[in-house]
Amino acid sequence: MKKLILLAAAAALAGGAYTAQAAPVTYVPAMGGNVGYSYNGSADGIHNIYAEFSPIDRLVIGAEYRDWINRDNETDIYAKYRLGHMYLGLGSRDYNDRGSKVFGLVEGMTNVADRLDAYAGLKISSEEYEAKVGVLYDLMPSVDIDVNYTYYDRDHTSNEDGVGVGINYRF
């Protein structure tokens, strides 16, 4: 538990003022990848799908599609570099109703018990910030269940938060 608290605090301090994050933080080995689906109960609900791939050791490229029920959709394209248990990255979020914004990200994860990992992440843009903490439980060697809490602070709209659940497949 101490590791999770320290990780969340470090990610929050590194994140600064504005962020956005939805996919869970997972380790992606070279020539490996992750795909997943999650649902967050924030506002009217958010469906999220993502895919990540590591073409070389420590570098991950990814794409994510987020469907805010009764609102517009968003698409992220990003790259991140692993430094130990942390990732630092840069990407672009396409807001279907108002153009695109560049964002920075910082993420971290650690193993807290057998088959249980904890993570925290922040993405920062001029439009918003989103902070996320969660846990991943290994159901099988290639399948994780994700449970998380996400806080959304967006300019020009009300702030929101919610609990999310998801499933991820590693290849």
Q: What is the pLDDT of residues 4-59, one digit of tens each?
A: 444 444 443 333 322 334 678 888 889 999 999 999 998 779 999 999 999 999 99
H or E element that contains 148: strand 143-154
CATH number where 39 lies: 2.40.160
The total number of structural domains that make up the chain: 1
Q: What does DSSP assign to residue 126?
A: S
pLDDT at 127 over 70: yes
Picking from 116, 99, 125, the residue whose alpha carbon sits closest to that of residue 21 is 125
Return the structure tokens found at 135.
């846990």
**Spatial contact of 22 and 49, defined as CB atoms under 8 Å apart:** no
* Amino acid, single-letter form, for residue 112: V
Q: Which residue has the tokens 């050791």?
A: 57
CA dihedral 30, 32, 134, 107 (to 10 degrees): 30
Terminal C-alpha separation, the chain: 28
What predicted TM-score, i.e. pTM, was given to this entire model? 0.81
pLDDT at 123 over 80: yes
Domain that holds residue 107: 2-170
